[in-house]
Structure 1
């Protein structure tokens, strides 16, 4: 039976979220663009956006830790399979339409669609 190392998974998720934000900054999207957007869209402010953004990162890492052994292929390709499925299902078809960017973020431009996959 596979057991999740909760501390490592949560740490990995938080670190991954920081790297996600740094990559967004390098790509010219600004610092904390996602938390700002979450806070604005919900009307709950930046603090909620930061909490939601980092909580989401930790939860995705916990989910990955739980299902990684069941994913197809060698260990090195499993993160790519997981993150591609996550971006398609949760970002392109849920989050983008929710925030008014349309399916796959196409209403915001093709660079949004491609950039979201690269950034994740």
Structure 2
């Protein structure tokens, strides 16, 4: 069993969350909207929201790093499969309805499902280039069968 590269997973989580925030800024015009919402809804303030938001990104990258070798499909596609499933299950069907925005945030705006998925696709990019490069480097290629008879 291969060991998890914690440093690369944490780095991918931080960079992925930063990319998530940049895409959010481009679409919403607001910087750190999620940390602000987390701080407000928990009553713990904006600084907690920042740490909670980035901590969540790191935890998702660690989770991906642990399960990526067991996912199907090409290595470049696995992060997109992971973040799509995570977005649907945890954001569209849990978090957004909990916040009163309806399933997939449709009560907030018809663009909410699109924007949330694009933000998570941006999060997936470091998973491809940092985490998957680590996983691929540890895979030993299968030996080709001998053609000599």
TM-score relative to the length of structure 2: 0.78
Distance 1:92 1:2 in 2: 33
Following superposition, the deviation at residue 25 of structure 1 comes to 1.0
2:88 corresponding residue in structure 1: 88
Rg (Cα) greater in structure: 2
Output the CA distance in 1 between the equivalents of 2:46 and 2:54.
Answer: 12
Distance 2:2 2:95 in 1: 31
Unaligned runs of 5+ in 1: none
Moved over 4 A (4+): none
Give distance in 1, aligned partners of 2:72 and 2:29. Answer: 33
Alignment of 1:8-23 (within 5 A): 8-23=8-23
For structure 2, which runs of at least 5 residues remain unmatched after alignment?
121-149
Deviation at 1:96, TM superposition (A): 0.5
Q: Which residue number in structure 2 is paired with residue 77 of structure 1?
A: 77
Structure with more contact order per residue of length (Cα contacts < 8 Å, sep ≥ 6):
2
Q: CA RMSD in A?
A: 0.9
Aligned residues: 120
Deviation at 1:81, TM superposition (A): 0.5
Counterpart of 2:30 in 1: which secondary structure? coil
**Post-superposition offset of 1:41:** 1.1
- TM-score normalised according to structure 1 size: 0.96
Taking the aligned partners of 2:25 and 2:9, their CA distance within structure 1 comes to 24
Following the alignment from structure 2 to structure 1, what is the Cα–Cα distance between the partners of residues 74 and 113? 27
